Amino acid sequence: MIDDVHPLDAEIRLRPASASDAASLAASLTRSRAYMKPWEPERPDSFYTPQGQRERLAGLLAEREAGRVVPWVLCDGEDRAVGGFNLNAVVLGPFRSATLGYWVDVAYAGRGLATAAVRLICGLARDELRLHRIEAGTVPHNTASQRVLEKCGFEEFGMAPRYLHIDGEWRDHRLFQRILHDGPVTGARD
């Protein structure tokens, strides 16, 4: 089920990322570059090209094969990527945790798609990966992302000073977590 296509509304779906998403990711990221600037690291212009996205996807897909990342794309009715969602730093064993990152194309923002996707991903992480916990961080002024996390059952658990280099500076981050289950880890894949 983690590798299935999941409809979020009549037009938009969440599906596993693939190498063929490079061109549409480059177009969506370019269109959304100014909108996402306050929440993103500074990136070279090459990041916003199909080749830059091919290279990024190759790394993500290699990390997926190693079990450390689960990358998805948000797709429109033409199967063009208009957002990205990743479970990063997946750790199994007794920790059973991951870090969530996501973005939605400026043309699709404010429609509840991030909330729907995060809810779905939390269910997949619990049921398929048997993760215990997911963590996410936001810069303090990213209230839209904080609302998404809160609607999806995440709770703030701390503040990390100068946590990530975002928009040209080391920025503080509000840290959120969602406990997915408190059951045993028996039967979980490691």
Residue 189: what pLDDT?
63
Percent of the chain at pLDDT > 90 equals 95
CB within 8 Å of 82: residues ≥ 6 apart: 12, 24, 28, 73, 74, 75, 76, 104, 105, 107, 108
CB of 36 closer than 8 Å to CB of 55: no
Q: What is the pLDDT of residues 130-187, one digit of tens each?
A: 999 999 999 999 999 999 999 999 999 999 999 999 999 999 999 999 999 998 876 6
Residue 184: the pLDDT is 85
Q: pLDDT at position 176, please?
A: 98
- Helix, coil or strand: residue 182: coil
Q: How far is CA 14 from CA 30, 104, 162, in A?
A: 20, 12, 32
Tokens of 1: 């089920």
Is 188's pLDDT higher than 90?
no
